[in-house]
Amino acid sequence: MKTTVIFCFFAVLSTTLCWGWGATGHRAVGLIAEKHLTAKAKKNIEKILGRQSLAEAGPWMDEIRSDSSYDNTVDWHWVTIETGKTYEQSPKNPHGDVIETIHRIVAALKQHNLDAKKEAEYLKMLVHLVGDIHQPLHVGCCDDQGGNKVKVKWFRKDSNLHRVWDSEMIDDTKLSFTELAAFSDYSSANIVALQKATVNDWVNESMSLRTQVYAIGDGNLSYKYSYKNFGTVKDQLAKAGIRLAGLLNQIYGK
């Protein structure tokens, strides 16, 4: 029964608008990554994406949700891991999840034998999914559709917890993605340590934020919630961009 419930979470969530970070956040992740690419990696990526930047490519995996030919990708944006358990101990979605997909895409890109269309798509997916896995509610814990069923008020308007983290905290700052990237980036002293972290480390970081994320009081969220959490949003975006660059340097910088 528990396995059925968790897979149900994926099936229902795939029909909702739970887009990790929203376009602004994903573009910021891409821009931060671009700033930390080696010259060789940047050149090779330009050959694949042409004039499209990583920032522009960031939201692509959300944009294709309206294209039925990509229906097989809808479950790749998230994973469910119950609190107190590891990914290895958790039931697996037969359609894939964000952890399995990142590993699979990285392995495929490292082979350097994909056709041009598939390589471009996989690259854009990687940009997006590294962002998603750093949004705490994309590493779900409960039967609440990654926070989509947690109804809240955001500045007196109906919302849900997932949407608050995906986009509303970011959008209410009125920052462009370039400003958000500039405000979110880390100093060079942190880069090596951040890029040494594994995908499992990223997951554990997102899981460690659950108590903070779900501390919503009576559900009437506004300035206080944003004040307590927007620094975490910026940290997670920065980590995602820097770690994405680390992966891309491994794949395209050698």
223: domain CATH number is: 1.10.575.10
* pLDDT, position 174: 97
- 91, 7 contact by CB (below 8 A): yes
Sign of CA dihedral 90, 96, 97, 99: positive
Q: Which domain holds residue 166?
A: 2-252
Average pLDDT over residues 224-228: 98
- 162, 145 contact by CB (below 8 A): yes
Report CA Rg, the chain: 17
Is residue 4 scored above 70 in pLDDT? no
The number of domains in the chain is: 1
Neighbours of 23 (CB within 10 A): 18
Distance CA 160, CA 28 (A): 23
- 237, 25 contact by CB (below 8 A): yes
Chain-wide mean pLDDT for the chain?
92
